[in-house]
Chain A
Amino acid sequence: MDPSGAGTSNDEFKFKVVLLGEGAVGKSSLMLRYVQGQFNPRHISTIQASFLAKQLVVDGADIDLSIWDTAGQEKYHALGPIYYRGSHGALLVYDVTDAKSFDKVKMWVKELRRALGEDVVLFIVGNKVDLADSRTIETEMASQFAESVGATYEETSAKENIGVENLFELMCSAMVTRARAGPSNRGPSANGGRAGTTRRIRIVDEPSTGRKCC
């Protein structure tokens, strides 16, 4: 990265990402793993929705990422629109050992495309890949499906911390690309009015300066 450009000429983006999917596929665990670096095998099921924020730098852009984790239970499905409205990206999570949860992803794709159009960045995430033995949904099938609906397919394990960081970075990267390509005609995001006092964690590679001495 250009040392003079870092920090001063970075674009700033505020992105809202929503986690959707069947109950108990690991949405909350993915979010907690990514934001807090934790994994709790006995996580209490999410009631309604919860929210966490993270700042990062991807492709030379400062990103304020707000991640919305929703309750997966069918009962709460009707509340979905409340949370995905205004999202720039959606992570549709399923459990690779549970075929039913993959069906649910298909349903979410339809609903999101209908509600948010082509503007939303869709990622389909197969979680729990650490449980390889009881796997029922193969990578092949899932990635083909993802391709057919214009989504990106990723595999993760929140428990073993496989691919989680990568997933969110890819997602941000895709959202940055999309935002730069077409100046967004979306309204302000759900948290548009908040003050910019949040602590920023810059993940910027320092340009190496120590070469001269040896």
Chain B
Amino acid sequence: MASLTETVDSRPPSSCVGGTSLATVAENLPLTYNMATRNLDTAEGGGSEQNTPRAFKRGHIRRSSYESADIQLNFPRRHDPRPSLINRTSFEEALCSLHLAAREERERKEREEAEKAKEELRKEEDCGLSCTSTDTRLTPDSAIGDSVESKRSSLDRKSDLSVGDWEETEADTPSSSTRTRRRIIPSINFAKGLFSRKEGRTSSWNPFSKMKEANGVVHTTSLILEERPSHLPAKSAEEANRHKQMHQEIIVANKRREAKAEKERARQMEEKNRLEEQAMSACRMWNDQILPKWDEMRASKRCRELWWQGVPSSIRGKVWSLAVGNGLNITPELYDCYSKRAEQKLIEYTETKGFDSSEPCGSNGNRENSLAQVHLDVSRTYVCYRPDVGYVQSMSFIAGLLLLQMEPYPAFVAFANIMSRPLQTAFFQLQQPEMTEYFIAFDRYFAQELKELHAHFDEIDVRPDLYLIEWVYTLFAKSLPLDVTCRVWDVFLRDDEEFVFKTALGILRMHEKSLLSADFEGVVSFLTHLPDSLSGSELFRHIEPFMRSYPVNCETARSKKRFFQILSEVKEQFKPVRSESSSTVESSVQSMKMSKSLSSFIGDLLKPSD
């Protein structure tokens, strides 16, 4: 690969006809187009150009329009690409070698290559090198827009100009040609990143092309810097002037856009750096100051703040372990004892039952996934530890997430201790009165915080249990993407059950708009199948307002209650009737304040099941 340090923006390519300081892409693009309309009718009609007319017009210069037209016209179908490469400019060499590499390596290496290119970019940036393996003339091209599509079209364009003959050979096998195109994207990114950093003058061509599509003037106005083709009458002075002026306007507008885009990029970069910096310092803080003095630090404001931002993944397991604690005093010996018993049970089970993968805790013979096997072990061990609770179908989610962060023994300790928390006790042991309390409390909390949505849900009969049960049982592990779940757990382990309900409200709040217009089916299927793309930071932004209602002395907060206050109120109301017969419990619960849809559900929940 060649190394070029010269740049296009500061100095027009020597072959460029315009010769003014404005010798940017703008001038060249329409010329190319002009030549095309005039001379390249055949090429337009039959060539691969046809597929990418937009890309063509968008004006990716690599050379003057004459030059490119030359290639189009005079060497349209060269059949041996390799020799021709030698004489080309360096950027073409770079491209061609990429092409070749791409062809040789095929699909399998695609990802690796993208990675490599990215890495290279990073390295280059860090070193502050101005050398590039690609001609910088590529850069306007890559700055066209951020959409992959435009990158791809620019690639198409490139192949047409520099290695057009390949395009033809490869066009026979469309899949391979698209593969080749995609393969080059990293190099473009590379150039783009480099350019934006070094030159600070990248042009954003997207608006340009938009403009062109909108009013169809751009490509004709830019003709001013060229004489008209010889067989057409020359422009009048007036027309030439007008064209010049229009062209100026376009250039100015583009410059403005470039500056704006550049500013935006700089801002994003800064933001990224800031976040990275923050994460680094957070990690240091956790390691140096919080973890060594856990007991005194854990309640500190600084620690809580850091915690809210998410525990760094490297120490997440440790923090979780510490946060859950070991109130049950489980010892390694105890764990060994129970896990051995569980193992024994498993052996007996597989012996008597044989291979039967349909059983939920079935044989591990055909489970290649060792993690699955292990996490079944934690919940299975738990079954031996607490046979009265037994295995409940969602335990594996909780055990699995813990095992992702820590070793089996601490995972077991954390698991057992989480299971002994009041919320989990109520649900996993199906203590219906307690579950009822939680549902009523959530219902009131929901009504207090998101009044409109609550009313809508009540109207279309969406009861909280339809979505809440799954969220509580798996602590969101089944519903949210893994990284988001981890962040939710971070705070769940800090704030306990209250945060489960806040997260639930956060999810509802995040999608409030669409939920408000959805019907029963829409709401239920959405909430039970949350999108995989759900963003953690956005979710936390929506949870934040529920965290803020903390200061009790604040005027506005007085009317609003925190979840645990609501819960204890419900418990208070519930207590006197708990000891009575189930029918009175039911009737007195029915008289409690709650939404219509919930009250019918509570009736079912409290009905004696045996």
Interface residues of A (CB under 8 A from B): 23-24, 44-53, 66, 71, 73, 75-82, 85, 95, 190-195, 197-198
> Which residue of the partner chain A has the closest CB to B432?
A78
A193 and B520: CB pair below 8 A?
A: yes
Say which residue of B360, B430, B459, B524 sits within 8 Å of A23 (CB atoms).
B360
Say which residue of A24, A71, A75, A190 sits within 8 Å of B358 (CB atoms).
A24
A82 and B601: CB pair below 8 A?
A: yes
Say which residue of B360, B390, B432, B474 sits within 8 Å of A24 (CB atoms).
B360
B360 and A45: CB pair below 8 A?
A: yes
Min distance, Cβ B430 to any Cβ of chain A, angstroms = 5
- Which chain B residues (445-486) contact chain A, with CB distance < 8 Å? 459-461, 465-466, 469-470, 473-474, 478
B525 and A191: CB pair below 8 A?
A: no
The answer to whether B238 has its CB under 8 Å from any CB of chain A is no
A191 and B605: CB pair below 8 A?
A: no
A45 and B393: CB pair below 8 A?
A: yes
B390 and A75: CB pair below 8 A?
A: yes
B519 and A198: CB pair below 8 A?
A: yes
Query: Beyond the given A48-B469, A53-B525, could you list 6 further A-B residue pairs with CB under 8 A, ordered by the A residue number?
Result: A49-B469, A71-B393, A73-B392, A81-B604, A190-B461, A193-B459
Residues of A within 8 A of B360 (CB): 23-24, 45, 73
Residues of B within 8 A of A190 (CB): 461
Q: With contacts A78-B432, A194-B519, A194-B520 known, is A51 near B604, CB below 8 A?
A: no
Residues of B within 8 A of A49 (CB): 466, 469
B519 and A23: CB pair below 8 A?
A: no
- Which chain B residues (96-112) contact chain A, with CB distance < 8 Å? none
Min distance, Cβ B209 to any Cβ of chain A, angstroms = 37
Residues of A within 8 A of B525 (CB): 51-53
A75 and B393: CB pair below 8 A?
A: yes
Min distance, Cβ A91 to any Cβ of chain B, angstroms = 18
Say which residue of A47, A77, A193 sits within 8 Å of B393 (CB atoms).
A47
- Give complex CA distance A82, B603 in Å: 9
Interface residues of B (CB under 8 A from A): 358-360, 390, 392-394, 430, 432, 459-461, 465-466, 469-470, 473-474, 478, 519-521, 524-525, 528, 600-601, 604-605, 607, 609
Q: With contacts A51-B528, A52-B525, A79-B605 known, is A191 near B520, CB below 8 A?
A: yes
Q: With contacts A47-B473, A48-B470, A198-B519 known, is A77 near B604, CB below 8 A?
A: no
Q: With contacts A24-B360, A47-B469, A71-B393 known, is A82 near B604, CB below 8 A?
A: yes
A73 and B393: CB pair below 8 A?
A: yes
- Give complex CA distance A190, B465 in Å: 13
Residues of B within 8 A of A80 (CB): 609
Say which residue of B430, B478, B520, B609 sits within 8 Å of A47 (CB atoms).
B478
A82 and B605: CB pair below 8 A?
A: yes
- Give complex CA distance A48, B466 in Å: 9
- Give complex CA distance A77, B604 in Å: 12
Min distance, Cβ B531 to any Cβ of chain A, angstroms = 16
Residue pairs across A and B with Cβ atoms less than 8 A apart, 8 shown, are A48-B465, A66-B521, A73-B360, A82-B465, A82-B601, A85-B604, A191-B520, A193-B460
Residues of B within 8 A of A50 (CB): 528
Say which residue of B430, B461, B465, B469 sits within 8 Å of A193 (CB atoms).
B461
- Give complex CA distance A107, B82 in Å: 78
B478 and A81: CB pair below 8 A?
A: no
